[in-house]
Every structure is written in structure tokens, then in C-alpha cells.
Structure 1
Amino acid sequence: MSGPASTSPTGVPYSTLIWLAVATFTTGIDGYVLAGLLPDVAADLDVTPALTGQLVSVFALTSAVAGPILGATTSGWEQRRVIMAALSTFIVGNLLNAIAPTYSLALGGRVIAALGGCLLGAAVTGYVVHLVAERHRGRALSFVLGGWMTATALGVPVGLILGQTSWRFPLILVSAVGVIALIGIGLRLPPLRYPSSTLAARLKPLAQPRLVAGLLVSTGVLCASYTCFTYAVLILEPTHPAGWMMIVIMCAYGVASMVGNAITGRLVDRFSPVRVLTVILCGLLVNALFGALAFELAAPVAFAVLSLVWFVLAGIGNGGHAVPQQARLAAMAPGTVAVVMALNASAVSLGGALGGGVGGIALTTGLVPGHLPLVAAAVLAITLPLHLLVARWSRAGSAAAIDPSPAG
């Protein structure tokens, strides 16, 4: 392993990590620019909007399945090269998607981009965890993940604005930014290799029930989030009908996610990740219940305001959970961080897919969109005890490691 890069007074090598933040921004915004352009894509490729939506679904599904496999396979390799190879693959897939003359080629481009994107996310997080001292890890993760959070704020409006001429142009622009990040990574990132281990050892986290339960916390949080986020337009449109209103609201949600990410990044360096995550999960549950009550009881004028408060607070919590959760998972399996981060990326993708499905099922059974915060609260009411169980399990394991003397 190489020595640490030169750091700022805070102990975080921002001049180096900025290129990783740009890379995560690139992959993050790629998932959002298409959200507002699906009708244009459908018309250009001569397929139904529902089929076009599978361009988004196949990206998430490929990431969920391939992430752990690629993470385990490459965690023994030199990590700067892994990051550059993953980003290059993502750029190639994205360009193929941008120039595809047919739906099948566009779908193939999404698969290739997903293979690069899922490996990139895991490799970047593992790189940061190993490069930066533990006392500065939260701030460094927050800085790098801030690229993805910024993408949530800018993705939809950037796609809508730049896509006025062609839906292909935003994808080409994303690829161009990816090339800039690739050059910066090649020039500024120091080489980094994790301690040598066998593939079987790198896959060992899959055999740890405690870690699997911890990963399910990520799935639960994202499931609750996407139960509402996927259908945010349906929930908020009755009181915010103008198209520009939704663009502004989605920007506000993204900015709120960035704020939550920045705050928890600093808190994790001062308090334990478990404590920070506990506060966030409790806050998300209370906010979901607040949203459910607002939709059920508030008068229309009050509802217009309270719904925005609920949505923005949800953005803060959903953006803020990522850093403490990743720091907690890294501490649970420090020897296989790259694999664990790949597994977490899969857990996140699975949660997003489940959230969209849960929300859709709820609506088809007769619930109105305003009831979805209550569904999200139910998911969080399961996730919070699971998180507390994992925390207790971890403390018990730590105590046993400190005092291994046999009973009696």
C-alpha cells in the first residue's frame, strides 16, 4: 500500500479526492438525466414509454447482480487501475447508449455502463476508506459521495434543459465529464493495493449473518425512500401542478440530500457511525409519520406547505444515511472493504427497485399517492429495529473479541 497523499489541515487530501467526487458525480447524474427524457427516448427509438423505462431498470438490476462479483474479483488488484478501468467501461457504455440507433443497442449500452458504474462506486469507497485515516474517514467519504448527491440535485433539471435539442446530448456531456475525471484520476491518484488475499477470503463477508443484516439496513432505507421518491410527482402534483414547480422541488430535494451528506460526514468523525445512523433512522421514521398525518389531516393550503417540509426533510435523512452506514459496514469487515462496498451498492440498488415496486403495488391496491409516506413509515419501522439488532450484535462480538476467556 502506498503512503498517504498530501493532506489539508483537516487531514483529508481534497486535491486528490476531488477527481473521485467528479467520477461519482458522473455516474450519479447519468442515472437522473434520463428520468425526464423517457418520452423523447421512446419516440426516437420507436418503443413504448414503459419499455424505455427498462433502460433505467436494467441498469439497477445489472448493478445489483454484478457489483459483488466484480468487487470480489478486483479487490486484490491495484485500485487506481481498477477505478480507471471501471470509469472507462462506464464511459464506453454511456457513449454507446448516446449514439445507439436502436433500442437493443441502447439497452446493451446501459448494461455496459452499469458494469462500470457498480464497480466504480465500490472501488472509490474502498479506496477512500483505505487512503484516509479513520478519524477523518467520515469527512472524506462525505466529500467524495457529495458528487453523487450533487447529481441528485442537478440530474433531472440538467436532463430537461439540455435535452431540449436531443436526449442524446446530455449523455454525451456526461461522458465528457467522465473523461475529465479519468484524466484527473490518472494524474493525481496515488497507486493503492489492499493486503493480498485469496478470492475465497474476499468472498467471506457473504458468510457473515451480522454483515448481511447490516446490508439489509441499506436496502430498507432505500426501499422506504423510493417508495415515495419514485412517485413524488403523483404525491406533490395536486398542490404543485406547474411543471417548473417539480423541477424546483426536485432540486430542493437534491440540495437537501447534499446538506444531509455534508452534516453526517462531519458527525461521523466526532461520534460513532452507529449513533449517527440511529438518529437518522429515527428522524426518517418520525418524518414519514409526519408526512402521512399531513396528507391525511391538513387543509389544502397547509398541505401545500407541509408536503414540501416533509419532502425536504426526507432528502436530508436519505442523503445523510449513506456516510455512517458505509463507515459502519467498513468497520464490520475492515479486511474486505471493497467487497463490502460492492455488496452495499447492490443492497442500495435492490432497495431502490423494491421501493418502486412496493409503491406501485400500494397504488394498484387502491391507496392514493398521499398514503405512500405511511407505507414508507412501515418499512422504516422494520428497518430501525434491524439496525439496532445489528448494533447490539456488533457490540457483543467486540466484547467477545476483547475478552475471549472461556466461561466458568
Structure 2
Amino acid sequence: MPSSVREESGHPVNTSPAPPSTVRPAPVLPYRALIWLAVGTFSTGIDGYVLAGLLPSIATDLQVTEALAGQLVSVFALTSALAAPLLGTVTSGWERRRTITLALAVFIVGNLLVAVAPTYAVALGGRVVAALGGSLLTAAITGYVIHLAPPEHRGKALSFVLGGWMTATALGVPVGLVLGQSSWRFPLIMVAVTGTVALAGILLKLPRLHLPAGSLADRLRPLRQPRLVAGLLVTTGILCASYTCFTYAVLILGPTHQAGWMMIVIMFGYGVASMLGNAVTGRLADRFTPLRVLTVLLVGLFVDATVGAIAFSVAAPGVIAVLGLVWFFAAGIGNGGAAVPQQARLAAMAPTSVAIVMALNGSAISLGSALGGGLGGLALTAGVPPPGLLYVAAAVLAVTLALHGLVARSDQAVAQRN
């Protein structure tokens, strides 16, 4: 049967015959429908960050250590990394709106389970459920936008929809932390409510979209390129270094900036810094090469972590209070800014498999987040003081920089052969 895109009413938006491997995009970008996808990514963005600012409350309520409480962040990311390509393959033949709504419903249920969890084990299970829905949701939304939007508007459409995540970092997380001052469970209820609003909008406004089914082999075929695998590992390294510290930021900054309202302001600042980094590097990547921009960012993140670690070790408390914020906000700019040049670089490595590469990059992001949270938890359990996590992050960034250099040399070799 020819592929087609149909509105909820059943009237065809595009019924022209298309080859089995392609789907003809809708002629007009339906922002009135895509806004609900942005609300959906907004809810997943809150979920991805808000718990990191509530670890002491979670640990006290569930009667576990703060390092174990941090694994509620890590297990979500690890489950997402492993489940995304598998669930994406299993559901690849489904109608896309159906996939998105199912994934969002599972994500909502998982967050409600965590919100009412009487024990740590139940909370951990709820995070796994939420991650299964969230990982499929992210992949389904990305694929939907890429295929629905006209080619000349795809970048704009992706920026619009995925902008919900960045907005959540700057606005949703501080609101969640305000609610969390009464109970750490309230932000999760907020995530579920926001997700439910998005679910209703998607069911009412989002056009149906049928795509050809894809196999797991198709999704993993780009991994046959060692250069691309190394590039994906650079993504993992950046996120691992980031989450080694971000997951436990409230413990690192807590001694000089009391938890509570001050941490809410600091988290808001981190979100704004991330948005700024994302906006600026997007333009720089167009003006210069993504490779150059990414190199500068990686060097900057390494220097920031190293100088920050030394400052926490030797500086006076008053100086640490200032330099700690400089380190944290600079990390926000670097981590938020690395996404655009890294995605552009990976897409250039496999221009005929961009959608698949972006899905794999999403798994690399989740894997790095999980490894970072886990690595930080292990370090704290081993007796490393929270500020010592900056040394761990610096070591991860050093390895990532070396790998980045190898990939850059490989890029040059390929360019010379062509």
C-alpha cells in the first residue's frame, strides 16, 4: 500500500504514491499540532533533571543513601539507552500517532508509580517504566517530525519540538523544585499532569502518519563504521562527565549555597546557561565548522572541570561560593552547546542514515547520563567527597578529548580520500 499522511478526520493530507522506503511530507508545517509534541518533550525534560535537585529529600523519605537516590536518575537513563533501539524497531510498523500516545501514556504511569512509591524498590521500578515510555517517545517524536515536515522546514520543526526539553531545563525544573520543597513527590505529579495535557492535545490535533517498518539491522547498520561508533562515544563521554557532577550538584554546591531556594535559583541559572550555549553554538556551527566548535567546547569543559576541582580543594569558602557558580554555569553553557555541533558532525558521517544516526545518538546520550550518575554514585560510596567528582569528570573529559582527536584525524583522512 502507498504510504500516506492523514489528518485525524481521515481526510488525506498527502495521498500521492511513494516508494516503500519514503514518506512524502505534508506540504504545510502544522505548528498547531506540533505544539503538543513540544509539551510532551517539556514533560520529559522536567523528569530528566528535577530529581537531581531533590536527592537529600528522596534519600531521607525512602531511607537510602544519597548515592542510591541518585541511581533513580541513572536507571532511567540506562534503561532509555538500552530500550530505545529495540522498542523503536518493534513499533516501527505502527502508525506514528498511536506509538507516540502509547509511549506517553507509559511515561505518565511510570511517573505516577514513583510519585506514590512507598519504598525505594517501587520507585526504582517506576523509573524503569517511565524510561521505557520516555525512550520510545523521544525516538517516535523525532521520526515523526523528520518525516512529516517539508525538507526545507525540518530543522525548524525539530528545534521547535525539541525546544520543549530546553525550556523544561530553564523553567520547568525550577518550578518542580519549588513544589519539591513541600514533597519531592509533587514534581513527579506535575510531570504526569503535563504529560496528560500533552496526551490530550496529541489525540485531538496530531495528524496520523504511517511509516514503513524498519528492522533492528537497519537501525544498527551505521554502527559498522568504526569512525561513527567513536563519534557516538564522544557523545557518551560528554554526557558522562556532565551527569557525574550534575546528578549530585546539590551535594557539591550545598556547603556554600544552602539547599532550598538558593538551589532553585542556581538550577534556573544552569538551565538558562544551557539554552544560551545551545543558541550560540548553533550559529557558530553554521559560521565555522562543527568540528572546530566542538573542539573548543570540549577543551573549555575540561579546563572548567579541572580549575573547578582545584578551586574546591584549596580555595577559601567565600571564594568557593563564587567559583563554584562560575564552574556550574560554564558547564551548563558547554554541555548545552555541545549538542548542535556534535549532531551536525555525526549527520555528516552518515548523510544517508541521518534519522537512524540521531536515534543512536539519543541512546549514546542516555548511556552517558546513566554512566555519569552511576560513576558519581560509586565515587561517593567509595568515600570521595562531592567536590571530588569534578576530578572524575575532568578525567572522563580528558579521555573524551583524546577520542575526539582520533575521530577528527579520521575525518581528515576520509576527506582526503574523497
TM-score range, shorter chain: 0.7 to 0.9
Bigger drift between 171-180 and 387-396 goes to: 387-396
Closer, same or farther: CA 346–399 of 1 in aligned 2, 3 Å: same
Question: Which runs of structure 2 are paired with 1:288-299 in the superposition (5 Å)?
Answer: 288-296=305-313, 298-299=315-316
**1:78, distance to aligned residue in structure 2 (A):** 4.3
**1:321, distance to aligned residue in structure 2 (A):** 1.3
Closer, same or farther: CA 320–3 of 1 in aligned 2, 3 Å: same
- Quick check: 1:302 aligned with 2:324? no
Q: Could you say which residue in structure 1 is the equivalent of 2:344? A: 327
- Quick check: 1:216 aligned with 2:233? yes
Q: Could you say which residue in structure 2 is the equivalent of 1:183? A: 200
- CA deviation map 1:109-143 (0-9, x unaligned): 32221111011122333444445567766555444
Asked whether the equivalents of residues 178 and 264 of structure 2 are also in contact (C-alpha less than 8 Å), the reply is no
Closer, same or farther: CA 240–147 of 1 in aligned 2, 3 Å: same
**1:210, distance to aligned residue in structure 2 (A):** 1.9
**1:220, distance to aligned residue in structure 2 (A):** 0.6
Task: Tell me the C-alpha RMSD between the 2 structures.
Answer: 3.3
Question: Which runs of structure 2 are paired with 1:44-193 in the superposition (5 Å)?
Answer: 47-48=63-64, 53-75=70-92, 77-100=94-117, 105-131=122-148, 140-154=157-171, 156-163=173-180, 166-192=183-209
- CA deviation map 1:20-76 (0-9, x unaligned): 3221110121233444555665676x6535665554343223212212212333345
In structure 2, what residue type is equivalent to 1:201?
D
In structure 2, what residue type is equivalent to 1:83?
I
Separation (CA, whole Å) in 1 of partners of 2:75 and 2:390: 26
Separation (CA, whole Å) in 2 of partners of 1:188 and 1:223: 37
**1:329, distance to aligned residue in structure 2 (A):** 2.6
Closer, same or farther: CA 328–192 of 1 in aligned 2, 3 Å: farther
| TM-score, structure 1 normalization | 0.82
Asked whether the equivalents of residues 66 and 118 of structure 1 are also in contact (C-alpha less than 8 Å), the reply is yes
Closer, same or farther: CA 234–47 of 1 in aligned 2, 3 Å: closer
In structure 2, what residue type is equivalent to 1:276?
V
Runs of 5+ unmatched residues, structure 1: 8-12, 403-408
Q: Could you say which residue in structure 2 is the equivalent of 1:207? A: 224
Asked whether the equivalents of residues 77 and 131 of structure 2 are also in contact (C-alpha less than 8 Å), the reply is yes
Asked whether the equivalents of residues 146 and 262 of structure 1 are also in contact (C-alpha less than 8 Å), the reply is no
Question: Which runs of structure 2 are paired with 1:275-290 in the superposition (5 Å)?
Answer: 275-290=292-307
- Quick check: 1:340 aligned with 2:357? yes
Closer, same or farther: CA 232–112 of 1 in aligned 2, 3 Å: closer
Separation (CA, whole Å) in 2 of partners of 1:159 and 1:383: 32
Separation (CA, whole Å) in 1 of partners of 2:214 and 2:341: 27
**1:288, distance to aligned residue in structure 2 (A):** 2.2
Runs of 5+ unmatched residues, structure 2: 1-22
Asked whether the equivalents of residues 135 and 269 of structure 1 are also in contact (C-alpha less than 8 Å), the reply is no
**1:102, distance to aligned residue in structure 2 (A):** 5.9
Q: Could you say which residue in structure 2 is the equivalent of 1:238? A: 255
Separation (CA, whole Å) in 1 of partners of 2:163 and 2:238: 18
Q: Could you say which residue in structure 2 is the equivalent of 1:372? A: 389
Asked whether the equivalents of residues 71 and 377 of structure 2 are also in contact (C-alpha less than 8 Å), the reply is no
- CA deviation map 1:210-238 (0-9, x unaligned): 22211111111011112222332333233
Bigger drift between 352-361 and 169-178 goes to: 352-361
1:2 paired residue among 1, 17, 24? 24
Q: Could you say which residue in structure 2 is the equivalent of 1:406? A: none
In structure 2, what residue type is equivalent to 1:21?
A
Asked whether the equivalents of residues 114 and 124 of structure 2 are also in contact (C-alpha less than 8 Å), the reply is yes
Separation (CA, whole Å) in 1 of partners of 2:122 and 2:138: 24
Asked whether the equivalents of residues 225 and 376 of structure 1 are also in contact (C-alpha less than 8 Å), the reply is yes
**How many aligned residue pairs are there?**
395
Separation (CA, whole Å) in 1 of partners of 2:313 and 2:226: 39
Separation (CA, whole Å) in 1 of partners of 2:283 and 2:210: 27
Question: Which runs of structure 2 are paired with 1:375-390 in the superposition (5 Å)?
Answer: 375-390=392-407
Asked whether the equivalents of residues 30 and 155 of structure 1 are also in contact (C-alpha less than 8 Å), the reply is no
**1:347, distance to aligned residue in structure 2 (A):** 1.9
Q: Could you say which residue in structure 1 is the equivalent of 2:366? A: 349
Closer, same or farther: CA 135–300 of 1 in aligned 2, 3 Å: farther
Separation (CA, whole Å) in 2 of partners of 1:242 and 1:96: 26
Separation (CA, whole Å) in 1 of partners of 2:412 and 2:210: 30
Separation (CA, whole Å) in 2 of partners of 1:277 and 1:364: 33
- CA deviation map 1:221-276 (0-9, x unaligned): 01111222233233323332363222211221111112212223344445443333
